[in-house]
Amino acid sequence: MRHIGLKARMAFVGSVLFAFYALVAIIAVEVYGIGLPIVFLGTIAFAGFQYKFGKWAAIRSSGAEDMDEDRYPEIHRSVERIADEMGLEKPRLMVAQMGVPNAFAVGRRGAGTVVVSTELIRTLSHDELEAVLAHELAHIDNRDVITMVMGQSIASMLGLAAYFAIAFSREGGIGNIIIGYMASILVQSVTMVFVLAISRYREYVADSDAARHVGGDAMASALQKISAAGKGRDADLDSDVAALAIFGGDRGGLEKLFATHPPIEKRIEAVRDVEKEFY
């Protein structure tokens, strides 16, 4: 079974998030008297909207445009080859200016999109760029992009539920609105802890998959160059999009505890270990 560790983590986090969702549904039905069918259909509609909107917003916030095949023929050929090896349909390719060498993937198998920054194209060699492309295709192949987006969706849903439950309680008043707002932030933060439980691990898995397709040296070298170019800088992306990108920004202090990406040094070490498996 491929990536049993990732699948186990995704199953665990999914179960916890579903439990949170079930709790909100019970409160909506028992306390507020909302019909179960309405709660069920409403949450499905909300999650579906979040997924579609999240994909659109990620692309739009990065300012990405379709990657012209005549201008970037080698990138298109590389993606076609790697996607074929992974048994994937070729995703839509887009290019954007992100301030640092970066790339991210959104969507699912059969409807994926990979966005590559112009800075990445200028910084990396062909082999290194192929490694990053393989990394992003691995995210689509492993379906962890959907898990991240849906996890963020459930966190937003729970935050809204907490806000409305407190802000519009029978007592009312400005105090309840303030407390409701604070509770919403707290609930979303706690929920995202579980989403972050797989966020860092999924990067290791995608690095490993990329190394198996293009070689560990190319993946390690790409990570080193990306880290060096982004040193002391943050990814010029929305926070939700940065969580999906190969470079999530330079973090220090307490921020490391809530980082969506593991340290580059540990990722390079893990990729080197994968390279040793072949020899």
Amino acid at 178: I
Specify the DSSP class assigned to residue 63: T
By the 10 Å C-beta count (0-12 exposed, 13-18 middle, 19+ buried), 87 is classed as exposed
Two tokens at 32?
């507020």
Residue numbers annotated as active site:
136
Exposure string over 149-166, b if 16+ CB within 10 A, otherwise e: bbbbbbbbbbbbbbbebb
The gap between the terminal CA atoms of the chain, to the nearest Å, is: 23
Nearest-CA neighbor of 255 among 235, 271, 270?
235
In degrees rounded to 5, what are phi and psi of residue 202? -65, -30
Whether 151 and 17 have beta carbons less than 8 Å apart is answered as: yes
Which residues, other chains included, contact 207 with Cβ-Cβ below 8 Å and sequence gap of 6+? 135, 219, 223, 267, 270, 271, 274
C-alpha 142/C-alpha 212 separation (Å) is 14
C-alpha 102/C-alpha 35 separation (Å) is 46
